[in-house]
Amino acid sequence: MKTRDFGRLKILDSIRGIAALVVLYHHIFKLNKEVLKNNFSDSTYEIMHFISNLNFEAVLLFFIISGFSIGLSTFKRPLVGKDSINTYIYRRLKRILPIYWLAILLAFIIGAILGLLYLSDFSVGNLIGNLLFLQTSASIPESWAVPYGLNGPLWSLAFEMFFYLLFPLVYYLNQKWFKSYSLHIKYAALIALVLLGIIINKKIIFAPYFLFIGGFITWIQGYISAQYFVRWKKRNIFFLANLLIGLTVTIASSHIPSATVNVIGKGMLLNGLFYFLMVLLDQLETKKFQNLINKAFFKIGEGSYAIYALHYPFLIFFQKEGISLLYQLLFVPPFIVACYLLEKRSLRWQLKFLELDYLAPLSFFKKELSTKK
């Protein structure tokens, strides 16, 4: 099968940068609504409000790009044995943990400065829940843990960690048992599993893992779309169906009682748009356009994870201390530069304790998967 020769796709980092800026903008807007409303016309304010409301779509876009990137990565480094799985998990943990721990520490420091450590968000139990990546949105009453120290964006990192750790198992099961089944059958089975999880969460007992696997639908579609980029393997019917179902769910969202179903629908819609945009751009000469986007957002994208994980405690501090919006905006450029430098440096940190042979019990993967080659 013909495959594409590709290196680093800078446009993915640029898209991450745009998404991170949307999330940052959303939280600045949310915490300064009254000031903005009093200083801008109604029409301008409504436009600003609309952009702010794209916050959740930006997070879903992070999930899509994450799944797409793993699709590219596993094409070059297939998960065919213990060593490759060790390397995969080491790279994921090394990418997430340093800045994640720093985000938790920053939330604690800001909380201590503001005298907020008495809140349950700063409790030892909640800290342990975050260290184990069990946190879900504070808007969910049944949550086992909420984002530590009021650092709301940390909820999505629990989802990301779940996706990363679940994927090798899904990859293995697909190679060993389900490779002969069509994509549509496997996808329908995943949706059925998610719907069962929604029922269990609402009717029996809440478990964050059922919520996480709902997000996995969005993530795995990003992975599937990478097959087109790598092998020109078109999935037009699959993504058209997802786009139409997602559009229907999004339009009817006010009549659907499950927030998880609405999120899944929105993820389907965005994945369909992402896939067909990728196919369209592949047919057109877009290098000049991509270069323009990369010039504006690539560097920001290289620091997007740090921007996402670290910005909210600072905004909470500004709000509690009554720092004016002007000074908050002046803070943003040096903060973005600092995040870029921090993220570049964190990728060079050697986390020796993660280099243990912690997957020895899974050594049978090598035998099982290597026979499939």
pLDDT digits (tens, 9 = 90+) for 275-315: 998 888 777 767 888 889 999 999 999 999 999 999 999 99
Whether residue 55 lies inside any domain: the answer is yes
The Cα 93–Cα 329 span in angstroms is 32
- Let me know if residue 363 belongs to a domain: no
pLDDT of residue 228: 86
Write out the residue range of the structural domain in which residue 250 sits.
10-352
Distances (CA, A) of 314 to 33, 103, 121, 317: 17, 11, 16, 5
Which pLDDT score, from 0 to 100, does residue 105 have?
A: 98
C-alpha pair distances (Å), 176 with each of 53, 223, 373? 42, 19, 11
pLDDT of residue 353: 61
CB-CB contact of 175 with 337 (8 Å)? no
Number of domains in the chain: 1
Residue 238 belongs to a domain? yes
* Positions of the chain with pLDDT lower than 70, given as ranges: 1-2, 285, 351-373
| Per-residue pLDDT at 78 | 86
**Per-residue pLDDT at 85:** 87
pLDDT at 354: 63
* Residue 373 placed within a domain: no
**pLDDT on residue 1:** 59
pLDDT for residue 9? 85
pLDDT value at residue 53: 95
